[in-house]
Amino acid sequence: MSLTADDVKKIAHLARLGIDQQNIDNYTQDLSRMLDLMTQMNDLNTDDVAPMAHPLDQQQRLRPDEVTESDQREKFQRIAPQVENGLYLVPKVID
Amino acid sequence: MHNKTLIELAAGLRSRSYSSVELTQHFLSRIQQHQDLNAFITVSEDIALQQAEQADKKLANDDGGLLTGIPLAQKDIFCTDGVKTTCGSKMLDNFIAPYNATVVEKFNDAGAVMLGKLNMDEFAMGSSNETSFYGASKNPWNSDTVPGGSSGGSAAAIAARLTPAATGTDTGGSIRQPAALCGITGLKPTYGRVSRYGMIAYASSLDQGGPMARSAADAAQLLQMMAGFDTKDSTSVDHPVPDYSADLNQPLQGLKIGLPEQFFSDDLDQAIASVIQAAIDEYTKSGAQIKSVSMPHLDYAIPAYYVIASAECSSNLSRYDGVRFGYRCQNPQDLEDMYTRSRGEAFGAEVKRRILMGTYALSAGYYDAYYLKAQKVRRLISNDFKQALSEVDVLMGPVSPTTAFKLGEKTGDPIQMYLSDIYTIAINLAGLPAMSIPAGFVNEMPVGLQIIGNYFEEAKLLQTAHQYQMVTDWHQRTPHGFE
């Protein structure tokens, strides 16, 4: 199965992933080859097979609804790209 | 000192033959001396010496456990509070982790000394270490070749005696393949055996941390410390942790070894096949029975893996948005520009390929054809293993279809690189434990034997590996220049 450069641009947009214009063709080619590899799965009939999401088919555990974390805002914000008055700063979203 | 096992090192510390500070300085100076291997991303000298001093105080009071005062190293995928944790990526080049991974906490509680953080493929996506933002680590057996990946820095450092042991993680072979290529011992535990808390996520249903060391006996010591239930990891399994060293010296009575036909097809290099055969012959000499088993769905493991791993990767890596931590581009125009450029500038090509692939596989209209299909194939592969392991105790085969390849040889062809995981990937899909142990050489490059066991039977794997290491010396070979 092969993808077009426009497909790749669309996927990159969905993933919010910047791709250099000059590399689009390479990604298009690589992804098409990866898809060829993946379509090999179609040789297998899996009609009555239950999908397997987790190796041990475990149930999600529940825990009491209690606060277990302490407030470490300053520590966590020390590694943020831009912070002011305890808030994470991003480019303006609403004018 | 650098050729001793963990148990010997611990005995030396207790008999005061050397202090933890002396031992730590010895390994730090070896790391310095062999910088050109590029095995470490960060050497945490100050912390190491501090931890060593503390360990010496404990040892002076005859306090502490087996690993107290022993220098070890962490794959740079484990978060270390106050120490740069990069995951091999430009995205996290400025990331000083604000907390410890559970595995790191366990090392600290045991009084181990952390020499530093080991090189790896970017976000553990790669089989050669070449996708690391910091450049590839090199294979100590031949510096023109790759150490394997993604835990290549761990394997190279252990083979070069820069650390007695280290951690690794394995999503599709990332402990076993570098262990094989560098001639060391590596164990990928059962999924859920070792906590993933603070272990930077790539593909959450496949990722598993484990020990890398020079022998099965040392790996058993390390796994003992790493394993166990953790409430902070929702996929951690609450299953008792046995004494992994208890049965190491018990002879293998009537061990039944299964050989998957699909592991010994024409694709396998003949010289490697002979090494694997010789290792299996060694087991038959000690009374093991051999049985051929067929696992008809193994051929579909690579396509299923790359759908599942890419899909999970695209979800997991969506957290890197330039807002709370990690890389942010200069002068973003607006929010979308910030996301797109931060991610575009900081992720390498292989990570981008997998994010794109995963995003596509999960996008509307394609989910059933790719992701759901892959999960069904995963079930069939897992059933193959269940069937095979109901007939035999362990499965054996090669780890890698070739010995270490040349740096740059496969970087231009991602598919070729994926195929180097052909014998390891299916085990992650099934979630089973498996080991790689040194089994010989082809053209002076190490070859690994893979041993696969049933769920939570790490002790049996370690025993099977240790019994082989009692009668062979492949695991004691040292690359030239690192004696």
Amino acid present at B123: F
pLDDT tens figures, B167-182? 999 999 999 999 999 9
pTM value?
A: 0.97
Q: Which positions in chain B touch A49 (Cβ < 8 Å)?
A: 376-377, 379-380
pLDDT value of position B267: 79
> pLDDT-based confidence at B20, cuts 50/70/90?
very high
Q: To probe the interface with A, which of B360, B377, B382, B383 has the most A CB atoms within 10 Å? A: B360
pLDDT tens figures, B303-353? 999 999 999 999 999 999 999 999 999 999 999 999 999 999 999 999 999
Q: Are B51 and B45 in contact (CB under 8 A)?
A: no
Nearest Cα of chain A lies from the Cα of B224 at a distance, in angstroms, of 21
Q: Which positions in chain B touch A80 (Cβ < 8 Å)?
A: 323-325
Contact between chains at B300 and A41 (C-beta distance less than 8 A)? yes
Residues of B annotated as catalytic are 75, 150, 174
CA of residue A81 relative to chain centroid, distance: 21
A80 vs B: CB within 8 A:
yes
Q: Between B276 and A92, name the one with better pLDDT.
A: B276
pLDDT value of position A59: 77
pLDDT value of position A69: 87
Q: Where are the domains of chain B?
A: 1-483
Q: How far apart are CA B452 and CA B392, in angstroms?
A: 11
pLDDT value of position B119: 98
B427: nearest CA in chain A?
A: A55
Contact between chains at A91 and B430 (C-beta distance less than 8 A)? no
Q: Where are the domains of chain A?
A: 5-43
A16 vs B: CB within 8 A:
yes
Q: How far apart are CA B181 and CA B441, in angstroms?
A: 10
Answer whether residue B420 shows pLDDT above 90. no
pLDDT tens figures, B224-235? 999 999 999 999
Answer whether residue B144 shows pLDDT above 80. yes
ipTM above 0.85, yes or no: yes
Q: Which positions in chain A touch B412 (Cβ < 8 Å)?
A: none
Mean pLDDT of B357-368: 93
Answer whether residue B455 shows pLDDT above 70. yes
Answer whether residue B19 shows pLDDT above 80. yes
A24: nearest CA in chain B?
A: B353
pLDDT value of position A1: 67
3-state secondary structure of B455: coil
Rounded to 10°, the helix A5-14/A24-38 angle is: 90
3-state secondary structure of B244: coil
A86 vs B: CB within 8 A:
no
pLDDT tens figures, A33-88? 999 999 999 999 999 999 998 888 777 788 899 998 899 999 999 999 999 999 99
Q: Are B108 and B236 in contact (CB under 8 A)?
A: no
On average, the pLDDT of chain B sits at 96
CATH of B1-483, one of 3.40.50.620, 3.90.1300.10, 3.40.50.300, 3.40.50.10490: 3.90.1300.10
Q: CB under 8 Å to B114, separation ≥6 — which residues? A: B44, B47, B48, B51, B71, B72, B73, B74, B80, B83, B104, B107, B108
Q: How far apart are CA B388 and CA B395, in angstroms?
A: 8
Q: Which positions in chain A touch B341 (Cβ < 8 Å)?
A: 18
Answer whether residue B26 shows pLDDT above 90. yes
Q: CB under 8 Å to B407, separation ≥6 — which residues? A: B128, B130, B136, B138, B144, B145, B146
Contact between chains at B341 and A31 (C-beta distance less than 8 A)? no
Q: Are B15 and B112 in contact (CB under 8 A)?
A: no
A88 vs B: CB within 8 A:
yes
Residue B455's alpha-carbon distances to B180, B182, B430, in angstroms, are 22, 27, 9
Mean pLDDT of B355-379: 95
Per-position b or e across A27-61, b if 16+ CB within 10 A of its CB:
bbebbbbbbebbeebeebebeebeebebbeeeeee
A5 vs B: CB within 8 A:
no
A75 vs B: CB within 8 A:
yes
3-state secondary structure of B130: coil
Q: CB under 8 Å to B38, separation ≥6 — which residues? A: B119, B134, B135, B136, B137, B138, B153
Q: Are B387 and B262 in contact (CB under 8 A)?
A: no
Q: How far apart are CA B10 and CA B246, in angstroms?
A: 18
Answer whether residue A23 shows pLDDT above 90. yes
Q: Which positions in chain A touch B343 (Cβ < 8 Å)?
A: 15-18
Strand order in the sheet with B71-75: B40-43, B113-118, B71-75, B165-169, B209-213, B185-188, B434-442, B445-452, B394-398, B256-260, B289-293
Q: To probe the interface with B, which of A20, A40, A52 has the most B CB atoms within 10 Å? A: A52
Mean pLDDT of A15-40: 95
A64 vs B: CB within 8 A:
no
A53 vs B: CB within 8 A:
yes
Q: CB under 8 Å to B206, separation ≥6 — which residues? A: B171, B172, B191, B305, B308, B309, B312, B428, B429
